[in-house]
Amino acid sequence: MITVAARSTFSRAHRTRRGPRGGGGRALRRVVGGGALVVVLAGCGSADAGEAPKERKVFSLAGESLTIDSDDSAIDVIAADVKDVQVTRQIDGWVFIGSGPEASWKMAGDTLTLRVDCDAVASSCESRHTVKVPRGISLTVRDGNGGVTASGFDTPLTIRSDNGNVTVRDTAGALDLLSDNGNVTTERITARTVKAESGNGRVRIGFKNAAPDKVEALTGNGGIRIDLPRAGAPYAVDATSDNGDVTTDVPSDGDSPRAVIARSDNGYVKVLGAG
C-alpha cells in the first residue's frame, strides 16, 4: 500500500504494461505528500517487467565498439552470432497523477541509449532490456540504476553501475567492472586481466581454467573471494583488509609475473586455489 497526501483532487492510478516472468530492473517508487486529502493506492501492487510483453528492435552498428547508456533498467548483454544489435525490452508500471512509464531507445554513432521515465506523484516502474551484440565488438555499459549481466564476450568489456549488481560469465576479454552499490561477480572467465570493484558490495572472481596475468579486486564494504587456477601458480599475492580476516591458500611468490591484488576496507579477503 502506498499512501499519498494530496490537496483536493483524487485521480485513479494508471497502469501501463508494455511488455511474461523473470527478473527485472529495480522498481522505482515515489511518494510525495502535502495537503488535507489522503489518497490510498491499494491494489496497484509493484511493477513486474517479467510479466510484460516483449518489444523488439534492431539497430545497425558500423564500428567495432558499442556503448550502452541506460538510466534505470536491468541490462542483459549477450555476444551472439548476429549482424546487428538486437534489443528486446519489457516494461511495466503504474503512475498516480503523472505520466509513464515512457520508454525510448535510439542509436547514435556507437552509443545505444535506453531510457524509461516515470514522472508522477507516486509510481512503480520496472524495465529490463536484453541486448544481443555481434561477436568481436568491444563493449561499454553504463547503467544508472539496475543490475548488469554480460556473457560470451572475447573482447574488452567495461561495465559501470551506480546502483546494481554486475555479473559477467563465460568471457575471455579484459574486464573492467565497477558497481558503486552492488555485488560484482565473474564466473567461468578466461580473461587475462581483471579489475573488479565495488563501493558497497561483495566481489567474487571465478575463473574457468586459464591463469590470469593480473587481477585487482577492491571493495569499500564487503567480502572478497578470488578462486585462481592452481595450474597458474605461483602468484604474487597482495591481500589486505582493514577490518576482516585474510586467507590465502594458493602458492605465492612475490617475483611471479602473475599479480593478484585484493583489498577490502571492511570485510573478509580470500584468495584460494581452484582446479
Count CB atoms within 10 A of the CB of residue 217. Answer: 26
Q: What is the pLDDT of residues 253-271, one digit of tens each?
A: 999 999 999 999 999 999 9
What values do phi and psi take at 267, rounded to 5?
160, 165
pLDDT tier for residue 4 given thresholds of 50, 70 and 90:
very low
What are the pLDDT digits (tens) for 103-123?
899 999 999 999 987 664 454
Top pLDDT among 255 and 4 is at 255
- What pTM was computed for the model? 0.82
Question: 12 — phi, psi (to 5°)?
Answer: -70, 140
CB neighbours of residue 64 within 10 Å: 11
Q: Measure the CA–CA gap between 96 and 2, rounded to whole angstroms.
A: 10
| Beta carbons of 118 and 94 less than 8 angstroms apart | no
pLDDT of residue 46: 64
* 3-state SS assignment for residue 50: helix
C-alpha cell at 151: 556473457
End-to-end CA distance of the chain: 50
Indicate the pairing of strand 111-134 with strand 65-70. parallel
Residue 47: the pLDDT is 52
Q: 245 exposed, middle or buried (CB, 10 Å; 0-12, 13-18, 19+)?
A: exposed
Strands 224-229 and 184-189: unpaired
Alpha carbons 38 and 208: distance in angstroms, whole number: 56
> In terms of DSSP bridges, do strands 14-17 and 175-179 run parallel, antiparallel, or are they unpaired?
unpaired
d(Cα 246, Cα 239) in Å, to the nearest integer? 7
What average pLDDT does range 198-217 have in this prediction?
97
pLDDT at 38: 39
The confidence score (pLDDT) of residue 40 equals 44
Cα–Cα distance between 113 and 106 in angstroms, integer? 5
For residues 123-128, give the mean pLDDT: 69
Note the residue count of the chain: 275
Summarised one tens digit per residue, pLDDT across range 167-181 is: 999 999 999 999 999
Q: Measured between alpha carbons, how far is 166 from 148 in angstroms, rounded to an integer?
A: 5
